[in-house]
Structure 1
Amino acid sequence: MALMKWEPLREIDDMFDRYVMSMGWPSRRQELITAGDWSPRVDISETDNEFLIKAEIPEVKKEDVKVSVDKGVLTIQGERKQEKEEKGKKFHRIERYYGSFIRSFTLPDNVDESNIKATFKDGMLNLQVPKSARAKHNAIEVKVE
């Protein structure tokens, strides 16, 4: 019998996946497999006028990235190609993810989908999602009786 190192965080993660699957939802592992080979990290922030989405996709060419909006869902997809092993060059360790990726985000009702701007520089995809003036919600006070 082989000894295995106890990893409590992995066990918590496994327990969470079993719970999620018992509710009929896909586990996070299944979601990654169906969504792509890997998933870029994303920061989402908000100002008074827009939402800002920053996706970290180093070593991906601009032409290998596609951004689309369909029925209120913004999708970022692309591919990071793996280096081919060259003669006289051996890889001792490969820890970075390669292959296709896809991330989708449901946009709130108060955005102007037709004016989304995307810039790509130094492995960072920056999306500016402007808020629409017509859908801005005013704060109201609800009287509690």
Structure 2
Amino acid sequence: MRVHRNPGQPAARPVPLPPDPRHTPDRGQVGVAVFTNQGTLPLRLDRAEAPCTVQSFLHLAGHGFFTHTTCHRLTSYPTLKVLQCGDPTATGEGGPGYRFRDELPTTLPPAPSDPTGERRIYSRGLLAMANAGPDTNGSQLAW
């Protein structure tokens, strides 16, 4: 997992960088329970599909980064229905002060409205990183 400090964006909550990238696990699945005021959300994170994303999520959770945060965005557009969480500032602009590369799924079907075939359809229940553009992942998640 290669992480880069975000010089223009300090951490919304103090958190160290994740551990040595040479030791990022890339096999197996991890079960995680996210506790919300609406109940518990059970997650299954697949290290083979997104090793850096899983490692960062577990690192941030282990350091209390997500504790007492609120989900700051709920969209219900016909083409975008997501709940976005993971920003302790609840503004949509906060993050851990570092970023990492995209780990885009290759098994998702292409969006029919995209003639290039680059945009993919995320099915209901999938967890994805929310970001500000290519390789700007931090702490915000959408599902």
TM-score, structure 1 normalization? 0.26
Q: Which has the higher helix share?
A: 1
Instruction: Return the structure number with greater strand share.
Output: 1
From the CA coordinates, give the structure whose radius of gyration is larger.
1
User: What TM-score comes out, normalization by structure 2 length?
Assistant: 0.26
